[in-house]
A and B are shown apart, each in its own frame.
Chain A
Amino acid sequence: KQEVTQIPAALSVPEGENLVLNCSFTDSAIYNLQWFRQDPGKGLTSLLLIQSSQREQTSGRLNASLDKSSGRSTLYIAASQPGDSATYLCAAYTDYGGSQGNLIFGKGTKLSVKP
């Protein structure tokens, strides 16, 4: 059974710092890995999607990498801003064969960027 772990659970940094959020998964049979952002009381906003055949994806100040063999993904945020404060979730789309497949989520990293 797929398990997704995110480290650290919480992170507080001063504005301007570059930071890395870590995600690990136990089953490498994934279709893709998605990183989401969730603001308090809100739904999930998709940030980056990495297909299983890809190594990384970039969007603005965000860069996500994927290493299936080691079961790891990282989300790199450059030049952090107070507006980046949110909970970041990673999720692996795991295929169980037949018609079964869904996103398995980590418990998130709560990021706080101090001005």
Chain B
Amino acid sequence: GAGVSQSPSNKVTEKGKDVELRCDPISGHTALYWYRQSLGQGLEFLIYFQGNSAPDKSGLPSDRFSAERTGGSVSTLTIQRTQQEDSAVYLCASSLNSGSYEQYFGPGTRLTVT
């Protein structure tokens, strides 16, 4: 079946612009995660959605970052007033449920802020 998909695959934006990154999880997966992978920091957790519960936003680095998940499926990560340090690969993952279930990752969106 179809895996996790993300769009766009690459995004180049100017400093100060807003960007939206999209994630389509595997159908039927109730848990969705956003991670960021940058050269200096490795892979770090950003935000987590589980069903209709309030999201866990504890990993968001600043209030310029936000995410939503509509209808328990597609998720959008929004970065406002982008900065050069936001340049990274943004990875989305989904799992059947939270906790002990395997996470499946999408191919990522490579964001470059110039």
Interface size grouping (class) on chain A: 20 to 34
| B31-59 at interface with A (beta carbon < 8 Å) | 33, 35, 42-45, 48, 50, 53-54, 56, 58-59
Name the CB-closest residue of A to B33. A102
Tell me whether A43 and B107 are in contact (CB under 8 A): yes
Tell me whether A102 and B99 are in contact (CB under 8 A): no
Partner of A100 from B43, B58, B100, B102 at Cβ < 8 Å: B58
Secondary structure type dominating chain A contacts: strand
Tell me whether B103 and A46 are in contact (CB under 8 A): yes
**CA A91 – CA B105 in complex, angstroms?**
13
Tell me whether A103 and B33 are in contact (CB under 8 A): yes
Q: Is B91 an interface residue, CB under 8 A from the partner?
A: yes
Q: Is A67 an interface residue, CB under 8 A from the partner?
A: no
Tell me whether B108 and A32 are in contact (CB under 8 A): no
Tell me whether B100 and A93 are in contact (CB under 8 A): yes
Please give, as numbers and ranges, the residues of chain B lying within 8 Å of A99 by CB-CB distance.
48, 50, 53-54, 56, 98
Tell me whether B104 and A105 are in contact (CB under 8 A): no
A44-B91, A99-B50 are known contacts. Are A104 and B100 too (CB-CB below 8 A)?
no
Tell me whether A102 and B56 are in contact (CB under 8 A): yes
**CA A31 – CA B102 in complex, angstroms?**
11
Tell me whether A108 and B33 are in contact (CB under 8 A): no
Partner of B43 from A31, A93, A105 at Cβ < 8 Å: A105
Residues in chain A within 8 A of chain B (CB atoms) = 31-32, 34, 36, 42-46, 49, 51-52, 89, 91, 93, 95, 99-108
